Amino acid sequence: MKEAIRRKRKQLGCLPRSKYDIIVRCLNGSFDVPVKKRTPEENNCLAMIRKRKDFELGDRGSLLCGGKQVLVKEDLPRFVEKMFMENKGCGARVIYNKLKVNYTGFSEQAILEILYNSKYYHEKYPRFTNKPKPKTISEEEPGKRWQIDIINMKNQSVSYKGST
């Protein structure tokens, strides 16, 4: 007897709020748009529900996929910031591994982009890559360009062996 090979299902990507709401309405049974009036986004969501059999609703009306709560694309920065602050600053991989235990619908790359665009990450881990390039000064002939700094030193008296 051959054992059935379990194929790994493609991971669910970040859903925008509009698609999330359409899927929740379909699972609730309150989606009643006629077929001819459906938008391409609504048709896409209905096809996604037909293809993926692991969508269900949680106790508070939240969308679950494979037993994990689906995060909305607009809410992901809030979850990343919360996890970053709870762990007192950590990288994208740590945040990804901690979030994927309970949530789905995001990638490590999406978390990395959120961190790079956030102020709290750059306050914790400053990158000094925005330094100006040194300006090279070239002269046409020797001694053409002179720069003299004149400093008033009357207030700063200097003494050497008792005399100024």
Predicted pLDDT at 160:
79
Give the SS3 label for residue 23.
Answer: helix
Write out the two tokens for 109: 């790359």
Neighbours of 139 (CB within 10 A): 8
Predicted pLDDT at 122:
83
Give the SS3 label for residue 71.
Answer: coil
Residue type, 30: S
Residue the block writes with tokens 């978390």: 111
Annotated domain spans of the chain: 11-72, 75-130
In angstroms, rounded to a whole number, what is the distance separating the alpha carbons of residues 92 and 84?
Answer: 9
Predicted pLDDT at 108:
92
Predicted pLDDT at 130:
65
Predicted pLDDT at 6:
62
Q: What is the pLDDT along the chain (164 residues), one digit of tens a residue?
A: 455 566 666 677 788 999 999 999 999 988 888 989 999 999 999 999 888 888 889 888 888 888 889 999 999 999 999 999 998 888 899 999 999 999 988 899 999 999 988 888 888 887 777 676 777 777 777 777 666 666 776 777 777 787 76
Distances (CA, A) of 34 to 18, 31, 40, 80: 18, 9, 13, 38
3 burial (CB, 10 Å; 0-12 / 13-18 / 19+) is exposed
Predicted pLDDT at 88:
87
- Please give the model's pTM, rounded to 2 decimal places: 0.66
The packing angle between helices 108-116 and 76-86, to 10°, is 80
Predicted pLDDT at 145:
66
Largest distance between two CA atoms of the chain: 106
